[in-house]
Structure 1
Amino acid sequence: MWFRRLLACLLVWVAALGLPSTGGAQSDGASSLVDGAATLGDTLTEVQTGIYVLRLTNVSPRDGSFDADFWIWFRWQGAGVRPDQTFELANGVISNRSDTDVLNDNGYNYAAVRVQGTIYHDFDVRKFPLDDHLLSIEIEDAELEASHLIYMPDAGTELDPKVDVAGWQVVLGRPATDIHAYPTNYGYQSSGETEAKYSRFSVPISLERTSVAPLFKLFWISLLSVVLGLLAFKVKSDDLDARFGMGVGSIFAASANAFVISDSLPETTNITLAEQINLIAVGAIFLTVFISIWSLRLRYAGRDEASVSLDNWSLVVVAVAYLALNALVMLLNLA
């Protein structure tokens, strides 16, 4: 009996020696934090935050998203929080992030993280393909509400000079912070609150069209179709194959261009600038076909001179009306 008791005591003693000390582990994990630094209050921590944007890729109005690669850093006082580990993309998802070490920066905790993620954005495509956009990278803490942690913009937020998005000029805006309220307590009834408020750090990034080249690239086929439809007026109206073949072929070309436009756009109930311009082209070509039928009937009636006069005047009137309508649409949309 005494042998069993002695053996049990030895086993307990060996197990106690093998177990790690909880207090010691916490002390080691927080040894790099500035324990003696003061905070704004007993429970509130101010975190100075900045971003350096390395890349913006896969900017897709159709998918409503873009990919961002950036460094983000945090400077704060106190050992009670780790904002470098608890932050998240409020308007996207993080696909990859680097490990962090906390450094002592003149009495402040400092940590920098490299982040790659996908950010979702509701692109306004009403002026496509001459559309400008204001994107944003928005950061929130996933654990602490605004009563415990607030972000403040830190000096140094910049855009890498090599950042390039085809078709747009990229301009970094001024970072800002605000309090974002969610109208729910997430089911935590003991809080006594009906909403949750979190500090949000936002960096605006504007995309500005620099030329009308996207407009030309998208509509040169439609323009060519309208020109062919107008040139049909120079063919005798009773030459059915040439006269009507040019008009009908032009309509099919302009209609095919409509599918190319829709493939570049998200689902929307708005008629975009691109669709308006293409509709004008289809309407102009359809009008040339209708006038060709009228001119043909004049020839069948033996009024050849009236038919030729109709064709000549129609060429000028339809061309001027086509250009004027395009100018009006551009003016209304881009004003």
Structure 2
Amino acid sequence: MAAVALLLAAMLAVSGISQLDLQRDADADRLQLSALPHRSSIRLEQQRRDGWSSLRSDRMSERELQQDAENAAAATYRVTVGVYATNTYDLDLSVPSFASNGYIWLRWQEPLQRYLEQQQLGLEDRVILLNQLLSDADPGLKPIGDPERLDDGSYYQLFSYLGRFYIDRASFRRFPFTTVSLPLVLEADDVDGVFEYANLRFVPDVKNSGVGLFSGIIGWLKRGWSIAEYRHQYATNFGLGGPAAAYSTLVYDIAFGTSSWSAFWRLILPLLVVMAMVLLVFKVRADEQDARAGIPVTVLLTLVFLQQTYRDELPQLPFLTFLDQVYVVAYVVTLLAFVLVIWIGRRYNELEAMPEGPQRQALAHRLHTLDELWPLSVVGFTTVSVVLCWLTLPPLS
């Protein structure tokens, strides 16, 4: 009864702690997918199967799409943006961030060119990489040549970029079966209030954008890339009065995922091998009580070491990952094994002191039954618990 009570208490504790996850701030900035064309190279069937999409918001309603398309057509300035990542590397999930370099090209019309000439600015002075982190590389966009006027009257300029960038989306809850999105986020640096969402729109160049030959990362599977424009609704007006500010934001990202097979062999298999020791703890001879009691203690220390090893790869998370929950199950099983070893050991001591007779035979039979049922009980409990852990994971957002 004590063992059952301990098991229930542990499960209730884990359930209660899981309810303490912090909820997203309702007053924070938010992104809303716009009506302008967007593209994702990840197949729709794969997105449905994995429950993962590179889009950072739900789609607009039909009415909202129509209104946003009309607003885009009426915008004072429209800038066509194309992105081509040539190199992606140095993925660091503990920050999380990644390094990348490549090319960005911009096309704009005469009204915006007149504004730039009046202000004696280049477009790189008004367009920033919003998620760029501090690094040794020069921040922002680096022009490659001067703006060119094309035959249709529009202006074109090619830029290069290089730096470290913050990662805003990753399926850490499903770790080690993780999908991570590596974004480049472009937005206007609006210092004089002329580039708000109603006045400036970024139009994704869905035809010519893409990824280069060296955009993969060793150890990760490249799933695809996407590019889309969003309405970035800020939660502030920056002290200027009036409604909260909103700006056109272009998000280009490359999605990477872990290999399920590799994750199993690297992180799951060692755990299974360690837990097999707990599974067989009662197969050790009953008269070797010290050996029996030492197995759960050794397993517990090994579990702590294994968990700390993979946790070093991750940032500080406000929730339990799938693998964390599996380790919770392993801790519960190991603790239960230790309690049962102590309890059964005491019963065997009582058995040795009992005289021959039906009572001694009944106790011996009961202890033998426990020894035989333990492996099946562990397999059944662990399987059900791990399946429930996976099924109760919240959907990816």
TM-score strictly above 0.5: yes
**Structure 1 match to 2:385:** 325
Q: CA deviation at 1:172?
A: 0.5
**Structure 1 match to 2:149:** 104
RMSD: 2.8
Alignment of 1:137 onto 2:184: yes
For the 8 Å contact 1:61–1:125, the answer to whether it is kept is no
Q: 1:201 aligns with which of 233, 245, 250?
A: 250
Alpha carbons of structure 1 residues 183 and 318: separation in structure 2 relative to 1, 3 Å: closer
User: Quick one: distance in 1 between partners of 2:386 and 2:245?
Assistant: 50
Give deviations 1:99-123, integer Å, cap 9, x for gaps.
Answer: 3322233233211111012222344
**Structure 1 match to 2:215:** 163
User: Quick one: distance in 2 between partners of 1:283 and 1:178?
Assistant: 46
**Structure 1 match to 2:130:** 90
For the 8 Å contact 1:64–1:121, the answer to whether it is kept is yes
Amino acid of the structure 1 residue aligned with 2:393: N
Q: 1:113 aligns with which of 143, 146, 159?
A: 159
User: Quick one: distance in 2 between partners of 1:209 and 1:178?
Assistant: 28
For the 8 Å contact 1:183–1:194, the answer to whether it is kept is no
Q: Gaps (5+ residues) in structure 2? A: 1-71, 117-121, 352-362
TM-score normalised according to structure 2 size: 0.66
Q: Gaps (5+ residues) in structure 1? A: 1-39
318-327 or 269-278: which moved more? 318-327
User: Quick one: distance in 2 between partners of 1:42 and 1:241?
Assistant: 81
Partner secondary structure for residue 325 of structure 2: helix
Q: CA deviation at 1:323?
A: 2.5
Give deviations 1:41-71, integer Å, cap 9, x for gaps.
Answer: 9993321110001222233332132222221
Alpha carbons of structure 1 residues 42 and 63: separation in structure 2 relative to 1, 3 Å: closer
Give deviations 1:177-224, integer Å, cap 9, x for gaps.
Answer: 234343545455xxx645444322222433334424214312333222
**Structure 1 match to 2:330:** 281
Q: 1:216 aligns with which of 249, 260, 265?
A: 265
User: Quick one: distance in 2 between partners of 1:151 and 1:170?
Assistant: 25
Alignment of 1:59 onto 2:91: yes
**Structure 2 match to 1:50:** 82
Partner secondary structure for residue 171 of structure 1: strand
Q: CA deviation at 1:256?
A: 1.7
Alignment of 1:310 onto 2:363: no
Alpha carbons of structure 1 residues 161 and 211: separation in structure 2 relative to 1, 3 Å: farther
For the 8 Å contact 1:145–1:197, the answer to whether it is kept is no
Alignment of 1:177 onto 2:229: yes
**Structure 2 match to 1:4:** none
Q: CA deviation at 1:268?
A: 2.4
Q: CA deviation at 1:273?
A: 0.6
For the 8 Å contact 2:79–2:108, the answer to whether it is kept is yes
Q: CA deviation at 1:325?
A: 1.8
For the 8 Å contact 1:229–1:285, the answer to whether it is kept is yes
Bigger relative contact order (CA 8 A; separation at least 6): 2
Q: CA deviation at 1:150?
A: 2.5
Alpha carbons of structure 1 residues 56 and 41: separation in structure 2 relative to 1, 3 Å: closer
Partner secondary structure for residue 333 of structure 1: coil
TM-score normalised according to structure 1 size: 0.77
Partner secondary structure for residue 173 of structure 2: coil
Alpha carbons of structure 1 residues 72 and 305: separation in structure 2 relative to 1, 3 Å: same
**Structure 2 match to 1:150:** 201
For the 8 Å contact 1:92–1:117, the answer to whether it is kept is yes
Q: CA deviation at 1:235?
A: 0.9
- Percent sequence identity over aligned pairs: 22
For the 8 Å contact 1:145–1:196, the answer to whether it is kept is no
For the 8 Å contact 1:225–1:251, the answer to whether it is kept is no
Partner secondary structure for residue 208 of structure 2: coil
Partner secondary structure for residue 214 of structure 2: coil
214-223 or 94-103: which moved more? 94-103
Alpha carbons of structure 1 residues 168 and 105: separation in structure 2 relative to 1, 3 Å: same
**Structure 1 match to 2:104:** 72
Alpha carbons of structure 1 residues 170 and 234: separation in structure 2 relative to 1, 3 Å: same
